[in-house]
Amino acid sequence: MEMNNKPIGVFDSGIGGLTVAREIMEQLPQESIVYFGDTARVPYGSKSRETVTRFAFEGLNFLLSQDVKMVVVACNTVSATCLEELKKYSPVPVLGVIEPGARAAASGTYTGTVGVIGTERTIKSQAYVKAIHDINRDINIYSKACPLFVPLVEEGWLDNEAAFYTARTYLTPLKKEGIDTLVLACTHYPLLKPTLQAVMGENVRLVDSAYETAKEVSRMLKVMKLERYEAAPSVYRYFVSDDPTKFIEVGERFLQRPIDPINVIDPEVPCQGLKSKGRKSE
């Protein structure tokens, strides 16, 4: 297959990366996608750097075995932990989610006061603080780890009482700081956008790193002349590392399209995607 017509690989620790996949589908409907969600080992945000790095390389190698032309690391934890290592290793371009989100936050704030919410590892890394300050050192940034948001999304609890209570608890300190822009520094978090917006109020802009990342994917494909030109319809394939039931239930509601085919694979087994070891979920 010619390089242009190969699919884009999207990797996340679980279901959150579907926010990036959806934006790519909407902005680049002609492109095919291979998605891998490491649902057996989610969340990544509370794990050590060494563990996250190992999981990231296993995810990257799986997608490379699927003959992709680009890999989008749709996971802020991985992007904050080992993105440069993945880029050096990969024979195809690798794009993370931090730089696009940081640029949108820096250009969108009108008071110079920005909030960042993410997993414990992403917040401790200060990756967004560094990226935003590389653009504008004068922006005040207030960060908050929100570890319970990922399991809420994975459970499909997007707008119930538990989601609102958790959001109010996490976000009230940021509201008191007077932020006008809130960066959703985890690709799971856009699934909670209605709840987060209700808690923060309409005057606070939510920066969706998934949307910004898809825009960057489009730009990179054009620059590298890798846009798909094949006349056949785009194809979306999904892989997970554990029981796909919840992934399908939440993912289909969010994507508004069937998640089929879907296969369960073991990311620790090298190149198994080429050996048909996945099983299709009925």
Summarize the annotated binding site for substrate as residue ranges.
Answer: 12-13, 44-45, 76-77, 187-188
Instruction: Give the E-state strand segments of the chain in sequence order.
Output: 8-12, 33-37, 70-73, 94-95, 113-118, 140-145, 181-185, 205-208, 236-240, 262-264, 279-280
Exposed e or buried b per residue across 139-156, where buried means at least 16 C-beta atoms within 10 angstroms of its C-beta: bebbbbbbbbbbebbbee
Residue 173 φ then ψ, to 5°: -60, -35
Exposed e or buried b per residue across 51-76, where buried means at least 16 C-beta atoms within 10 angstroms of its C-beta: ebbebbbbbbbbbbbbebbbbbbbbb
**What is the enclosing helix (H) or strand (E) of 162?**
helix 161-176
Catalytic residues, by residue number, are 75, 186
Is the Cβ–Cβ distance between 210 and 190 less than 8 Å? Answer: yes
Is the Cβ–Cβ distance between 117 and 170 less than 8 Å? Answer: yes
Is the Cβ–Cβ distance between 75 and 102 less than 8 Å? Answer: no
Is the Cβ–Cβ distance between 11 and 73 less than 8 Å? Answer: yes
